[in-house]
Amino acid sequence: MRKKVVTKDFLLEIAGNIIKEEDLKACSMRAVSRKAGIGVGTLYNYYSSREELLIDLFDKSWKQTMTDLAGISLEDLPLEEKFEKWCLHLTQEIKDRKGLGRAIYGDAIDVKKMNLENKNSVIQHMISSVKNIIKDAEVNKNLSNERLTLISEWVVLAVLTNVHRKSVSETELVDELMNRYIKG
């Protein structure tokens, strides 16, 4: 009988699917091992705790999101469509995590658990990728790099805040941001 080949990436994919299809509470070590077709003890060979698994999943998922957002910023799409796609993709990615970051880190970043350089790197990637989009708007052509960065920071902040506060619909938010920073 052949031994099943298991990797951390495989286990993270399963954990991510459980969260996406069910919810964060359903993502237990037992549920992950069952869906992976391995014993719970084998899972503990890879991750010493559920928290360690979730932290690894959170980091991996954000790296993928950053790659996706950078890719969207480089797509050959009309500017408004590209901006909308970027905003909606970021919103959906955060929603699909169903509170994973908040469950791990709470409302504030716990320096002991998360390296602040990592957090800043994630935010900087978001700012950089949306800046790549908004710099092409006619209304922004003559703006300084500093002003473009500031606008990009506001866009990122608005999207992140809206996901957590649910102040307006995604469409309303994108329309408002587009009118302000793309159409002028």
Could you read off the pLDDT tens digit of each residue along the chain, which spans 184 residues?
556 778 999 999 999 999 999 999 999 999 999 999 999 999 999 999 999 999 999 989 988 999 999 999 999 999 999 999 999 999 999 899 988 888 887 765 444 454 445 556 778 888 999 999 999 999 988 999 999 999 999 999 999 888 888 889 999 999 999 999 998 7
Considering the domain architecture, whether residues 138 and 70 belong to the same structural domain is answered as yes
| Domain region containing 146 | 57-181
**CA 97 – CA 51 distance, rounded (Å):** 15
Read off the CATH number of the domain in which 155 is found. 1.10.357
Whether residues 64 and 129 share a domain: the answer is yes
The DSSP-derived string for 74-104 is: HS-S-HHHHHHHHHHHHHHHHHHTTTHHHHH
Cα separation, 85 vs 79, in Å, equals 10
- The answer on 61 and 35 residing in a single domain is no
One domain, residues 103 and 76: yes
Q: Are residues 68 and 98 both part of a single domain?
A: yes
